[in-house]
Structure 1
Amino acid sequence: MSKRPTIHDLADAAGVSIATVDRVLNKRSKVRESTSQRVLLAAEDIGYHASGLLKRRVRESKPVKRLSILLQRSNDEFYEGLGMTICSACSQETQFQFETKIVFMDEVTPEYITKQVIKEGKHADGIALVALDDHTLNRHIEQLVERGIPVFTILSPLSTNTCTGHIGVDNRKAGRTAAWAISRLTTTLGKIGILLGSHRYLNQDIAEISFISYFREIQHNFHLLPPLTNLDDENLAYQATKELLAKHQDLTAIYSAGGGVKGIIRALKEDKKDQKITLICNELTSYTRLALSDNTIDMIIATPVQKLAYRLSDLFAEAFSSKKHQTIAPVKLSVELHVAENL
């Protein structure tokens, strides 16, 4: 049976003195973060018996920062998954101890979101949020940043230029990718419907504009219908899709630049027309995966949730490490494309 690693073995493996290992284990005096991490990694590598205690000690030595992450719709599978992934990513931050609070906003009016931002700003050290663009909300965010509280927008940017930063997919590429897919997957010429939550979600607004611009640039015989808004609500999306199907017998494709996809899927499944409607939508969830498998959806343009979560954690660490407020360049992630054959 192999000999149990000793504190001497750990010191040798980490390249530090026994006294340094003792300081990390027993919190006798402050040790540099990089040194503590090296000791912890060495302990896990050699199977040192107190590696669990070391992990707690290293975590306890980090500055504590309280994060409030404001997401939408607590009953939405995508946002539930995003919240859990952000919590997991923030728990693994090496420079700070992040205490992460997820706040779901079932009411998505500017007034309600502003109230939540004000409320969380009273105790949070940093805030990230998904929100529609609104001048009152933007003003309160600017005030938080002026107080030294970093604020990051997720998925959809805001028009204020004082946010600490933004992280989301490249919405111009997302919209053009949807247009490219429809132009190739739709075999019957006709009308194309466009659905989005609201033009005040700037990510959806950019995606819709880019979708339209693609068709302007190519020779085509499709007719793009005026966009319909559904506030990312399942029932409103259902009604909007039913309206498209009833008014336009030659409807051949739908691009959903926002949420409410459950309602769109339900309306298409109820439709008795023989003609196949090409559907491009956002985010891979259990219900969009099933609709992709049964050919209701043709392609899903998805946010790389794990990459977004870990990059957001890094952005908060970068903001807290800075001695003065600075705006961090927007992070644009490449979308993930899903079709039935690559599930």
Structure 2
Amino acid sequence: MSKRPTIHDLANAAGVSIATVDRVLNKRSKVRESTSQRVLIAAEDIGYHASGLLKRRVRESKPVKRLSILLQRSNDEFYERLGAAIRKACAQETQFQFETRVIFMDEVTPEYVTEQIIKESKHTDGIAIVALDDHTLNRHIEQLVEKHTPVFTILSPLSTNTCTGHIGVDNRKAGRTAAWAISKLAKTTGKVGILLGSHRYLNQDIAEISFISYFREIKHNFDLLTPLTNLDDDTLAYQATKTLLTKHQNDLTAIYSAGGGVRGIIRALKEAGKSRQITLICNELTSCTRLALSDGTIDMIIATPVQKLAHQLSDLFAESFSHKKYRPLAPVQLSVELHVAENL
């Protein structure tokens, strides 16, 4: 029967003194975070019997910071997955003990979002948010940042330049990638429909502009139609797609969805019997879009790397809390994930 590791074994494995291990275990005095982490890792490696206590002690020694993450649409699978990933990433933070509260906003008007920010600001140390660009909302964010409350935008930036930072995909590349895909995958030339939630989501606005600019730069016989907005709503997206199919029933060759509401687009295409004829490029891999990709309704999905975004957001919060003086952080632009039927 193997001998149970002792405190001496743990100290040797961690490369510290027995007294240091004792301080970590019993909180007798402060130990550097890096040293505590080294002791904890060594304890888990050698199977030390009190590794659970060590883990608790290390966590208890971290400064506590409360975070409010304001996302959209509680019934949206993408946002549910993003919220869960952010909670998990923040729970793994090594410098701070993050208490993370995720709020899903089913109403996306700037007035409602502003109310939520004001409400959360009363009991939080940091905020991350997905929102439409709006001058009133921006003003309240500016006031928060002036009080040294870090505010990060997720997915879609805001026009105020006082936010602590932004994290999302490179929307210029996303839009140009969608255009490239249509130019290569469309079965015939013809009219191309463009759908987006709102031009006030600056990420979608940038993607749409970049989509159009790609076609300006190449020789082509596609006719890009005036973009239609759907507020990222499935019903409105369904109606917009029906409108495209009715007006351009003989020469609509492709659709690019720069925002949400994809379930409605899929429904309209299938009802019209056009799911295999019209090239569809959309955003985010969900159970619905995965199925539509596998059955040929969707030709390519341009997705946000959710896990990477969540961990980067946690790191940005930790970096902002680590500085005694407030300073804005450079925006983080992530590369998109591309999904086609063959790489599911």
TM-score, normalised via structure 2 length:
0.99
Aligned match of 2:248: 248
2:176 is aligned to 176
**SS class of match (1:67):** strand
Counterpart of 1:342 in structure 2 is 343
Task: Compute the displacement of 1:279 (Å).
Answer: 0.1
Distance 1:218 1:237, change over 3 A: same
Equivalent residue number for residue 238 of structure 1: 238
Q: Deviations over 1:199-239 (max 9, x none)?
A: 00000000000000000000001000000000000100000
Q: 2:289 is matched with which residue?
A: 288
Give the partner amino acid of 1:239: Q
The alpha-carbon distance between structure 1 residues 64 and 340, as it changes in their structure 2 partners (threshold 3 A), is same
Partner in structure 1 of residue 196 of structure 2: 196
Quick check: 2:187–2:279 contact (8 Å CA) kept in 1? Answer: no
The reply to whether residue 211 of structure 1 matches residue 200 of structure 2 is: no
Q: Deviations over 1:48-82 (max 9, x none)?
A: 01101100000000000000000000000000000
What is the rounded CA distance, in whole Å, between the counterparts of 1:333 and 1:327 in structure 2?
18
Q: Write the mapping of 1:45-64 to structure 2, written as runs, cut at 5 A.
A: 45-64=45-64
Aligned equivalent of 1:112: 112
Separation in 2, partners of 1:207, 1:102: 27
Counterpart-to-counterpart distance in 2, 1:273 and 1:138: 42
Task: Please tell me whether the aligned partners of residues 85 and 306 of structure 1 are also in contact (alpha carbons under 8 angstroms).
Answer: yes
Shift in Å, 1:275: 6.7
Supply the distance in 1 between the matched residues of 2:139 and 2:270 (Cα, whole angstroms). 44
The Cα shift of 1:273 comes to 4.7
Aligned partner letter, 2:332: V
Tell me, yes or no, if structure 1 residue 330 matches structure 2 residue 334: no
Give the whole-Å Cα distance in 2 for the aligned partners of 1:219 and 1:46.
64
Structure 1 counterpart SS, 2:149: coil
Q: What are the ranges of 5 or more consecutive residues in structure 2 without an aligned counterpart?
A: none
What amino acid is aligned across from residue 310 of structure 2 in structure 1? A
> What is the distance in 2 between the residues matched to 1:314 and 1:273?
45
SS for the counterpart of 1:210 is helix
Q: Which runs of 4+ in 1 moved over 4 A?
A: none
Q: 1:79 and 1:274, CA in 2 relative to 1: closer, same or farther beyond 3 A?
A: closer
Counterpart code for 2:262? V
Amino acid paired to 1:258: G
Partner in structure 2 of residue 270 of structure 1: 271
Instruction: Kindly report which structure 2 residues correspond to 1:36-185, keeping only aligned pairs within 5 A, or say none.
Output: 36-185=36-185
Q: Across the two proteins, how many residue pairs are aligned to each other?
A: 343
Q: Give yes or no for contact 1:238–1:267 (8 Å, CA) kept in 2.
A: yes
Whole-angstrom CA distance in 2 between matches of 1:67 and 1:214: 39
Find the aligned partners of 1:208 and 1:272 in 2 and give their Cα distance. 27
What secondary structure does 1:31 align onto?
coil
Q: Structure 2: which amino acid aligns with 1:301?
A: I
Identity within the alignment, %: 86
Give the Cα separation in 1 of the matches to 2:275 and 2:2. 71
Q: Which amino acid aligns with 1:198?
A: S
Contact 1:252-1:275 at 8 Å conserved across structures: no
Cα distance in 1, alignment partners of residues 65 and 238 from structure 2: 42
Aligned to 1:307: 308
Q: CA deviation at 1:272?
A: 2.9
CA contact (8 A) 2:275 2:297 kept: no
Deviation at 1:274?
Answer: 8.6
The 3-state SS of whatever aligns with 1:320 is helix
In structure 2, C-alpha distance between the alignment counterparts of 1:77 and 1:84, rounded to whole Å: 11
Q: Determine helix, strand or coil for the equivalent of 2:166.
A: strand
**TM-score of the two chains, using structure 1 as the length reference:** 0.99
SS at match of 2:158: coil
Letter in 2 for 1:297: I
Matched to 1:246, the amino acid is T
Other-structure match for 2:322: 321
1:2 positional shift:
1.5
Query: Partners in 2 of 1:214 and 1:16 — Cα distance?
Result: 59
**How far apart in 1 are the matches of 2:273 and 2:261?**
21
Work out the CA distance in 1 between the residues paired with 2:274 and 2:7.
Answer: 74
Instruction: Output the aligned Cα RMSD.
Output: 0.8
Residue 314 of structure 1 aligns to a residue whose secondary structure is helix
For 1:187 and 1:276, how far apart are their aligned partners in 2?
Answer: 7
Write the letter of the residue equivalent to 2:273: K
- The residue identity in structure 1 corresponding to 2:201 is Y
Shift of 1:187: 2.0
- 3-state DSSP of counterpart to 2:71: strand
**Structure 1 unaligned runs (5+)?**
none
Distance in 1, matches of 2:37 and 2:188, equals 60
